[in-house]
Amino acid sequence: MSEDKKRASNQALQGNEAVFCVKGLTKVYDMGEVKVHALRGIDLDLFQGELVVLLGASGSGKSTLLNILGGLDTATEGCVVYKDCDLTRANDSTLTQYRRYHIGFVFQFYNLIPSLTARENVAIVTEIARNPMKPEEALSLVGLDDRMDHFPAQLSGGEQQRVAIARAIAKNPEVLLCDEPTGSLDSMTGIVVLEALEKINRDLGTTTIVITHNAPIADMADRVICLADGLIADVRSNAHKKPACEIKW
């Protein structure tokens, strides 16, 4: 790839408005005797329609960053601005509105409601969204047509993970935050899931952030951000995004 092209694509992106604007973000977990510095001052802009992959060693602060971006956790210092809204200063009900109408989440530990079936686990989100898909549609995007009425306990780990993804994409959010969406999946199923994410990102222009431990997945991203020890160690842009179907691991 030539330097020109790379610059061009970056400029194209920069031309887009920044969806997230992160400045000096730190997160300290106070555990009494010890303080755990999960994030030590992150500066970062994320742009509209961008697909970003977050890489980094275990414990480097990826989930923490994602949670703060998603309004699930509060920062210790620094600020995070989503469009015009300063998340670090927002009150609880603003954050609730923010999560409800803008964010789709895939949790690292799925967090399905055990007493609801797969379909109902998706419905519980679509019922309060503004412009959702049908739960069935979302579930079939992740290849679960024949598991809709199963309870979480009756699903395999990977299937649960796919329900969690269906739940996140079903509301057609403006931002999709996925914490290891393919962690428990074989590469075949993983690719199905990645294709779904790619499709949403492409068709709806959803800003998508994906945490993963599988470095090859980074090839499908517009940008790859590496975290190490609570700091951004490296940011690189892919001039050529690889389609999900060509990724192997």
Partner 1 sequence: MRALNRKLLRDLYAMKGQAFAIALVIASGVAVFVMSITTLNALRQTRADFYKQYFFADVFLSLKRAPEGLRLRIKEIPGVDMVETRVAAAVNLTIKDYSGPVTGQLFSVPDIGKPLLNKLYLRQGRMIEAGRDDEVIVSEAFARSHGFMPGSKLSAVINGRRKNLTIVGIGLSPEHVYQIAPGSLFPDFERYGILWMGRKPLGTAYNMEGAFNNVTLTLSPGAQIEDVIERLDKLIEPYGGLGAYGRKDQLSNRYLYEEFRQLANTATIFPIIFLGVAAFLLNLVVSRLINMQRGQIAALKAFGYNNYAVGLHYLKLIILIILLGVAGGVLSGVWFGRGLSEMYMDYYRFPFLRYEFQPGVAAIAALISIAAGITGALYSVQRGVRIPPAEAMRPEPPATYRETWIEHIGLKRIMSQPSRMIIRHIERKPVKAFLSTIGIAFACAIMIVGCFFQEAIDFMVDVHFRLSQREDLAVTFVEPASKRALFELQSLPGVEYGEAFRSVPVRLRYQHRTYRTAIMGVKPGGDLQRLLNSRLKPFDPPREGILLTDYLGDILGVRVGDKLSVEVLEGNRPVRMVSVAGMVSQCIGVSAYMNIEALNNLMREGNAISGVYLAADPDYHPEILSRLNEMPRIAGIVERRNAVKNFYETISEQLIVYTSFMAMFAATIAFGVVYNSARIALSERSRELASMRVLGLTRGEISYILLGELAVLTLAAIPLGCLIGYILCAYFVDQLQTDLYRIPLIIESGTYALAATVVLVSATISGSIVRRRLDRLDLIAVLKTRE
> Among 42, 50, 51, 61, which residue interacts with ligand ATP (rule: CB under 6 A)?
61
Applying the rule CB under 8 A, the residues between 129 and 188 that interact with partner 1 are 129, 152-153, 157, 160, 167
Q: Does 105 bind partner 1 (CB under 8 A)?
A: yes
Strand partners of residue 34: 31
DSSP-derived secondary structure letter, 33: T
| Window of 60-68, 99-107, 112-120, 134-142 that interacts with ligand ATP by CB under 6 A | 60-68
Q: Is 24 helix (H, G, I), strand (E, B) or coil?
A: strand
Report the C-alpha gap between 196 and 182 in whole angstroms: 12
Which of the choices Mg ion, ligand ATP, partner 1, none does residue 124 contact, using the CB cut-off of 5 to 8 A by kind?
partner 1
Residue 112 near partner 1 by CB under 8 A: yes
Integer Cα distance of 5 and 2 in angstroms: 5
What part of residues 107-136 is at the interface with Mg ion (CB under 5 A)? 108
Looking at residues 171 to 190 of the shown chain, list those that interact with ligand ATP (rule: CB under 6 A).
none
- Whether 173 contacts 204, CB under 8 Å: no
Are 184 and 157 in contact by the 8 Å Cβ rule? The answer is: yes
Contact criterion met (CB below 8 Å) for 19 and 46: yes
Phi, psi of 174 (to 5 degrees): -80, -30
Task: Give the C-alpha separation, 153 to 118, whole Å.
Answer: 10
Exactly one of 6, 83, 100, 241 binds partner 1 (CB under 8 A); which one?
A: 100
Which residues are at the interface with ligand ATP (CB under 6 A)? Answer: 29, 31, 36, 38, 56, 58-64, 108
Interface residues with partner 1 (CB under 8 A)? 63-64, 67-68, 70, 72-74, 92-93, 96-101, 103, 105, 107, 109-116, 120-121, 123-125, 127-129, 152-153, 157, 160, 167
